Amino acid sequence: MFSKILKLFESVFVKFKNPTFIGEFFYLLLNILYSFILTRGFGIELYGSLIVLMTISGFFTDVIGVRSNEVIVYFLNKSNDNNVRNSFYTMSVLTDVILGTIISLVVFLLSGLIVSFFEDKITLSSVKLLSVYSFFLYMRGTNMGVMQFFAKFKILALIKNIELILRFSLMFLFYYFGFKDLKSLTFMMVIPCVIIFFSSIFIIRYNREINLKLVSVNFSVKKSIYFCVFSWRNFLSTIIKAGNKQIDSLIVAKFISITYVGVYDLVKKFSTPINLVSNVLIINMLPEIIKNKKREGKLFSRIKKINKRLLLFFLIWLVVLMLSNSLIERFLLIEYSMLIFSGLLIVNFLNQIMWWTRAFSTAYNQKLSIYFNGLATLLSCTVLIFLVVNWDIWGLIGGLFFIRILLYYLWNQKLKQNEIY
C-alpha cells in the first residue's frame, strides 16, 4: 500500500521537476501554518470574512478574465521565432491591462452592493481595497504563464513562497500593533501582491533564457483573429467556471454564516497534501499535454494510475486527521463536527481528482470546459442553493458531492468516447 503512495510522489515529482516539489512542499507547510495562526490570532469569523473577500476577487476574475497564463502558454508553443513570440506576449500583456482594469473598476463600483448582499458581514473599505488587489493579481497572469512555458519552476515556487512569507510578516506586524480588523488583513494581501507583480516583470525582462519583451505589434488580421478567438473561448470557459469554482464559498457566506466560510476554507487547507500533488501536476503537465497531442493513450493511462494512488493517499490522510481531531480543536480554538469535517474533505477531494480536465480542454477542445463548467454553474445556482437553504451545511455537502460525482462521470464518459484511454 505504501509503495503505491511512494510511486505517486516519484512519478509526479521526481520525473518532472524536483524543485517544483520542494517549492510546493514548503508552500504547503507555510500556507497551513499561516492559516492556522491567522485563525487563532484573529478569530475564525474574521478569517472567514477575509476568505469571502478573496472569493469575491476570484469570482470577478473568473467572470471577466481569460486565464492569460494558459493563453500565453498555448501561443508561445506555436512558434520558435522570437519576434512572433514577442508579438503574442505583447498582445497578452495588453489584454491583461484592459481586463485587469475592468475587474478592478467593477469591484470598486459595486462595493456598496457587495456589502449589502452579504448583509454588512464585510466592510466597505475592505472591498474597495480589494479592487487594488484584484488588479495586480490579474496583471501577473501572463508573466506567470511565460515562466511556466519556459519551465522556470524554481522561480515560480520561489515567488509563491516569498509572497506567503511577506503575508506572514505583515500578519505578525499587524497583530503586534493591534490592527485586528478586516481592512488590515486586506492590506496584508495587497502589499505582497503588488511586490510580486513588479518582481515578475523584472524576471521576464532580464532572464536570458526567456528573453521576451514588449514590442510594437504588427496587428495582422489573421494573427489578431487567431489570438482573439482563442482568448474568447477561454473567456467563455472562465465566465462559466466562476459558478463552479467560487460560488460554493459565496453560498456558505450568504445562506449559512461567515464562520462556516472560515471552517470550509480550513478544510481545504487540511487537504493541501492532496492539493500539492494536483497543483504540481497542473503546472508541469499543461505544456506536455499541449506538445503531445498524438500520444493521448500513454498520457492519460498515466493519469488514471495517478488518480488511483491519489485516492489511496487521501484515505490514509483522512484517517490521520480523524485521529487528530481533539488536537486540532485545541490549537485552533474552534469546535466542529468530525462528521461534517470528513464530508467536506471528501467533496474537496472529488474536485482534486479532476485536476487534468482543464489542461486537457485547453489543449484539445475548449468547448468541453465550457460545457461542463456551464453544467456545474447551473447546478450550483439551482440544486446547491436549494439544498443549502433547506438543509444548511448538510445540504452543502450533499449538493457538492452530487455535482462533482456527476461531473467526474461525464468527463470520463466523454473521454472514453474519444478513445483517449
The per-residue DSSP string of 194-234 comes to HHHHHHHHHHHHH-TTT----------HHHHHHHHHHHHHH
Residues 6+ apart with CB under 8 A from 173: none
Answer yes or no: is pLDDT of 228 > 60.
Answer: yes
The predicted structure's pLDDT at residue 292: 55
So what's the pLDDT on residue 237? Answer: 58
The pLDDT of residue 366: 67
Ramachandran angles phi, psi of 81, nearest 5°: -75, 125
For 121-132, write each residue's pLDDT tens digit. Answer: 889 999 999 999
261 close to 52: Cβ distance less than 8 angstroms: yes
- For residues 216 and 86, give the distance between their C-alpha atoms in angstroms, rounded to a whole number: 9
Per-residue confidence (pLDDT) for residue 169, from 0 to 100: 94
Percent of the chain with pLDDT over 70: 77
The set of residues, in sequence order, having a beta carbon less than 8 Å from that of 75 and lying 6+ positions away, is 85, 88, 92, 227, 230
Q: Are 190 and 132 in contact (CB under 8 A)?
A: yes
In angstroms, the CA 90 to CA 227 distance is: 11
pLDDT at 229: 61
Q: Measure the CA–CA gap between 196 and 201, rounded to whole angstroms.
A: 9
What is the amino acid identity at position 327?
Answer: L
306 versus 204: the higher-pLDDT residue is 204
Nearest to 32 by CA among 321, 384, 401, 233: 321
Please tell me what DSSP assigns to residue 121: S
The pLDDT of residue 420: 43
The mean of the pLDDT values for the chain is 80
Report for 72-76, 234-238, 264-268: range of highest mean pLDDT: 264-268
Q: Half-sphere exposure (CA, 13 Å, Cβ side) for 14? A: 6
CA distance 150 to 180: 41
pLDDT for position 164: 93
Residue 226: band (very low, low, confident or very high) from pLDDT cuts 50, 70, 90: low
Which amino acid is it at 217?
A: V
Cα gap 200→216, rounded to integer Å: 21
Cα–Cα separations (whole angstroms), residue 320 to 31, 130, 220, 326, 328: 19, 37, 58, 12, 11
**Could you tell me which residue, 109 or 313, shows the higher pLDDT?**
109
87 Cβ neighbours under 8 A, 6+ residues apart? 215, 217, 218, 223
pLDDT confidence tier of residue 357, bands split at 50, 70 and 90: confident
Q: Is the pLDDT of residue 294 over 80?
A: no
Tell me what the mean pLDDT of segment 177-191 comes to: 93
Tell me the C-alpha to C-alpha distance, in Å, between residue 89 and each of 73, 248, 293: 10, 34, 23
**DSSP of 37-102:** HHHHHH-HHHHHHHHHHHHHHHHHHHHH---HHHHHHHHHTT---HHHHHHHHHHHHHHHHHHHHH
**Cβ atoms within 10 Å, residue 9:** 15
pLDDT of 136 higher than 90: yes
Q: Are 88 and 73 in contact (CB under 8 A)?
A: no
pLDDT score of 78: 77
pLDDT for position 285: 61
Residue 194 pLDDT class (50, 70, 90 cuts):
very high
pLDDT band at 234 (very low <50, low <70, confident <90, very high): low
Q: How far apart, in Å, are the Cα atoms of 112 and each of 105, 115, 126, 349? A: 13, 5, 11, 35
| Residue predicted with more confidence, 47 or 1 | 47
pLDDT of 187 over the 80 cut: yes
CB 70 within 8 A of CB 362: yes
Residue 295: Cβ-neighbour burial (10 angstroms; 0-12, 13-18, 19+):
exposed
The residues, any chain, with a CB within 8 Å of residue 115's CB and separated by 6 or more, are 122, 123, 124, 127
Q: Report the predicted TM-score, pTM, of the whole model to 2 decimal places.
A: 0.81
Give the per-residue pLDDT at 212: 79
Residue 111: pLDDT band (50, 70, 90) is very high
**Span 46-88, pLDDT tens digits:** 999 999 999 898 888 877 766 777 778 877 887 777 777 888 8
Query: Average pLDDT, stretch 194-212?
Result: 86
| Helix, strand, coil in percent for the chain, rounding step 5 | 85, 0, 15
